[in-house]
Amino acid sequence: DTGVSQDPRHKITKRGQNVTFRCDPISEHNRLYWYRQTLGQGPEFLTYFQNEAQLEKSRLLSDRFSAERPKGSFSTLEIQRTEQGDSAMYLCASSLSVAGVNEQFFGPGTRLTVL
Protein backbone atom coordinates (compact mmCIF):
# COMPACT_ATOMS: atom_id res chain seq x y z
CA ASP A 1 0.00 0.00 0.00
CA THR A 2 1.55 3.29 -1.05
CA GLY A 3 -0.93 5.60 0.63
CA VAL A 4 -0.48 7.82 3.69
CA SER A 5 -0.08 5.79 6.86
CA GLN A 6 -0.44 6.86 10.47
CA ASP A 7 0.60 5.18 13.68
CA PRO A 8 -0.91 4.39 16.07
CA ARG A 9 -4.50 4.20 14.88
CA HIS A 10 -5.79 4.58 18.42
CA LYS A 11 -4.24 6.01 21.56
CA ILE A 12 -5.75 6.18 25.02
CA THR A 13 -3.85 8.18 27.58
CA LYS A 14 -4.33 9.82 30.93
CA ARG A 15 -4.50 13.55 31.35
CA GLY A 16 -1.07 15.05 31.76
CA GLN A 17 0.78 12.41 29.77
CA ASN A 18 2.72 13.10 26.59
CA VAL A 19 1.81 11.39 23.33
CA THR A 20 3.49 11.22 19.93
CA PHE A 21 1.94 10.31 16.62
CA ARG A 22 3.68 9.41 13.41
CA CYS A 23 2.71 10.04 9.81
CA ASP A 24 4.36 8.49 6.76
CA PRO A 25 3.36 10.36 3.61
CA ILE A 26 3.31 9.10 0.07
CA SER A 27 6.99 8.78 -0.75
CA GLU A 28 7.37 11.39 -3.49
CA HIS A 29 5.18 13.98 -1.77
CA ASN A 30 7.01 17.04 -0.47
CA ARG A 31 4.13 18.63 1.44
CA LEU A 32 2.72 17.21 4.64
CA TYR A 33 -0.23 18.49 6.65
CA TRP A 34 -1.72 17.84 10.07
CA TYR A 35 -5.39 18.33 10.87
CA ARG A 36 -7.53 17.76 13.93
CA GLN A 37 -11.10 16.51 13.68
CA THR A 38 -13.52 16.47 16.59
CA LEU A 39 -16.84 14.70 16.64
CA GLY A 40 -19.39 16.26 14.34
CA GLN A 41 -16.91 18.65 12.78
CA GLY A 42 -14.80 18.79 9.69
CA PRO A 43 -11.02 18.62 9.87
CA GLU A 44 -9.30 21.75 11.17
CA PHE A 45 -5.90 22.71 9.81
CA LEU A 46 -3.06 22.55 12.35
CA THR A 47 0.19 22.88 10.45
CA TYR A 48 1.98 22.07 7.24
CA PHE A 49 5.49 21.29 6.04
CA GLN A 50 7.18 21.77 2.72
CA ASN A 51 10.00 19.25 2.83
CA GLU A 52 11.44 19.65 6.34
CA ALA A 53 10.38 23.27 6.82
CA GLN A 54 7.30 24.01 8.88
CA LEU A 55 5.73 26.87 6.97
CA GLU A 56 2.38 27.48 8.59
CA LYS A 57 0.92 26.91 12.03
CA SER A 58 -2.65 27.41 13.12
CA ARG A 59 -3.52 29.25 16.31
CA LEU A 60 -5.09 25.93 17.32
CA LEU A 61 -1.56 24.61 17.74
CA SER A 62 -0.83 25.65 21.31
CA ASP A 63 2.67 25.52 22.79
CA ARG A 64 1.90 22.02 24.07
CA PHE A 65 1.87 20.82 20.48
CA SER A 66 4.97 20.35 18.38
CA ALA A 67 5.40 18.87 14.95
CA GLU A 68 8.56 17.87 13.15
CA ARG A 69 9.55 16.50 9.82
CA PRO A 70 13.27 16.05 10.29
CA LYS A 71 14.32 14.63 6.94
CA GLY A 72 11.43 15.77 4.85
CA SER A 73 9.88 12.32 4.89
CA PHE A 74 7.87 11.13 7.90
CA SER A 75 6.48 13.54 10.46
CA THR A 76 5.69 13.37 14.15
CA LEU A 77 3.13 15.31 16.14
CA GLU A 78 3.73 15.46 19.88
CA ILE A 79 1.25 16.67 22.46
CA GLN A 80 2.67 17.40 25.88
CA ARG A 81 0.64 17.41 29.11
CA THR A 82 -2.46 16.18 27.35
CA GLU A 83 -5.85 17.59 28.32
CA GLN A 84 -9.29 16.10 27.85
CA GLY A 85 -9.96 18.72 25.20
CA ASP A 86 -7.21 17.19 23.09
CA SER A 87 -9.37 14.14 22.48
CA ALA A 88 -9.91 14.06 18.73
CA MET A 89 -8.94 12.38 15.51
CA TYR A 90 -5.59 13.61 14.22
CA LEU A 91 -5.32 13.40 10.46
CA CYS A 92 -2.24 13.60 8.30
CA ALA A 93 -2.25 14.36 4.60
CA SER A 94 0.41 14.74 1.95
CA SER A 95 0.64 16.27 -1.49
CA LEU A 96 3.08 16.90 -4.29
CA SER A 97 3.50 20.60 -4.93
CA VAL A 98 3.15 21.49 -8.57
CA ALA A 99 1.73 24.56 -10.27
CA GLY A 100 -1.80 25.19 -9.10
CA VAL A 101 -3.57 23.52 -6.23
CA ASN A 102 -2.15 20.36 -4.77
CA GLU A 103 -4.49 17.47 -4.14
CA GLN A 104 -4.10 16.24 -0.58
CA PHE A 105 -4.17 12.54 0.18
CA PHE A 106 -5.28 11.69 3.69
CA GLY A 107 -4.25 8.95 6.07
CA PRO A 108 -6.75 6.99 8.21
CA GLY A 109 -6.04 9.13 11.28
CA THR A 110 -5.01 8.56 14.87
CA ARG A 111 -7.86 8.68 17.35
CA LEU A 112 -6.73 10.11 20.69
CA THR A 113 -8.74 9.65 23.85
CA VAL A 114 -7.59 11.52 26.94
CA LEU A 115 -9.08 10.20 30.17
Partner 1 sequence: AQSVTQPDIHITVSEGASLELRCNYSYGATPYLFWYVQSPGQGLQLLLKYFSGDTLVQGIKGFEAEFKRSQSSFNLRKPSVHWSDAAEYFCAVDHTGGFKTIFGAGTRLFVKA
What's the min distance (Å) between Cβ of 47 and partner 1?
10
Q: Is 72 exposed, middle or buried (0-12, 13-18, 19+ CB in 10 A)?
A: middle
Output the smallest distance, CB 76 to partner 1, in A. Answer: 18
Nearer to partner 1, 19 or 34 (CB): 34
Q: Whose Cβ is closer to partner 1: residue 54's or residue 80's?
A: 54
Contacts to partner 1 by CB under 8 A: 3-4, 31, 33, 40-45, 48, 50, 55-56, 91, 93, 95, 97, 100-109
Amino acid making up residue 32: L
Q: Please, what is the minimum distance in Å from the beta carbon of residue 42 to partner 1?
A: 3
52 vs 80, which CB is nearer to partner 1?
52
CB of 11 or CB of 31, closer to partner 1: 31
Residue 30: closest CA among 4, 50, 47: 50
Compute the least distance from the CB of residue 83 to partner 1, in Å.
23
- Which stretches does DSSP call E strand in the chain? 5-7, 10-13, 19-24, 31-37, 44-50, 53-57, 65-68, 75-79, 88-95, 105-106, 110-114
